[in-house]
Amino acid sequence: MFPALRCLATHARPFDIPVLDRSRSAPQTEMRMTVDAEQSALSGVSRVEVVGAVEMALRGREVSRLSTPHHRSTVPLRVGLSEADRSSVDRLGQVHLQSLSGGMVPLAELVNTEETVRHQSISRKNGKRVIYVMGEVAGELESPVYAMLDMAETLDEIQVAGGAPLGRLFTREPVVTERPVMKWDGEWQVTYEVFRDLGIAFAGAILLIYVLIVAWFGSFVTPLVMMAAIPLTLIGIAPGHYFAGAFFTATSMIGMIALAGIMVRNGILLIDYLEARLRAGVPLKQAILQAGAVRTRPILVTAVTVIIGAIVILFDPIFQGLAVSLMAGAFASTILTLVVVPGLYFLIKRGWTEEAVQ
């Protein structure tokens, strides 16, 4: 995984990554001191005294407590070596201990010092060993998706043991961990799960709207004409985010879901009045013109109220995406709904009429 870390470091500068770190630290050495039992016995210093002297030198030892008028409780008094005196093994070895004979014995003669490599801490996630490579994307492009796409080609060049390419996973955890696998996580995982859940909710909302309209109008085709206004919102939402300089966030998706019901309502207003005129014996073309003339005002009023209500949250950093989706989507979809929905209804009805005549 260290080549992947180097790849991240190489691509950090174009994306303004101020923080780049990893959970696996560099190898660290530590000094282990063990009491020399034979030398300790010959010197007349017990093992307990040796361990106590080392502990006091490194950590300090509380020898008493002091009462002062400026403190509500007693203040501990600790005895220990200064940082300079315990900064190296040689200086620590100069600490002297008193033997049974009354002589002073240096600590270096009573212990054996061994330099070893400190054991690395092992991070696990769901029972699998992991090494976290962490970076924070900043600058104009704050979404991690852009950094991930930019590093794709370089990551393809990384090979693990055996010459195999480094596997990369985006949405699921690795099943086999016999060789290194790279899993994008963190903010990307949260973004994926949020949009996945909102997409499922959006599909469920559209299905529920369709079922309700089918039950009301008794037709499977007419509701599809009314719901044609839903994809028309994208014609306004996508350019709206571009010109507003806003990212398409989770709140933008929530705005799309809310806008779906509003735009279907406009289609219902048109088709409901149109079919009422058809039942009254008005020709198809005339009924479409009358429906447009009568229902245009309430449809426009609905769009204007949505836009005015969204202006309040347009400059909020969190809900800006919601405001842009509502305003741009309502504007574009309303204008196009007045043309597309009657046009689709006319084409479908005319086709049915020609088939009936034939």
Question: Which CATH number fits the domain that encloses residue 199?
Answer: 1.20.1640.10
* 223 and 167 within one domain: no
Rounded Cα distance between 250 and 325, Å, is: 11
* 206 and 317 within one domain: yes
The predicted structure's pLDDT at residue 126:
77
CA atoms 120, 126, 130, 132: torsion sign: negative
Kindly state the percentage of the chain with pLDDT values over 70.
Answer: 89
* 105 and 150 within one domain: no
* 255 and 144 within one domain: no
pLDDT-based confidence at 211, cuts 50/70/90? very high
Domain boundary among 68, 86, 117: 117
CATH assignment at residue 107: 3.30.2090.10
pTM of this prediction?
0.64
pLDDT, average across residues 183-197: 85
- In which domain, by residue range, is 91 found? 30-117
* 238 and 298 within one domain: yes
- Say if residues 161 and 1 touch (Cβ distance below 8 Å): no
For 327-353, give one letter per residue: b (16+ CB within 10 A) or e. Answer: bbbbbbbbbbbbebbbebbbeebeeee
* 35 and 104 within one domain: yes
Q: How many domains does the chain have?
A: 3
* 197 and 330 within one domain: yes
* 153 and 208 within one domain: no
Domain boundary among 117, 148, 170: 117
* 60 and 13 within one domain: no
* 94 and 112 within one domain: yes
* 157 and 252 within one domain: no
Among candidates 262, 271, 255, 238, which has minimal Cα distance to 334?
262
Tell me: the pLDDT tens digits for 124-135?
777 778 878 777
The predicted structure's pLDDT at residue 233:
84
Rounded Cα distance between 241 and 321, Å, is: 7
Highest mean predicted confidence (pLDDT) among 86-90, 135-139, 344-348: 344-348
For the chain, the residue count is: 358
pLDDT-based confidence at 200, cuts 50/70/90? very high
* 314 and 274 within one domain: yes
pLDDT-based confidence at 352, cuts 50/70/90? low
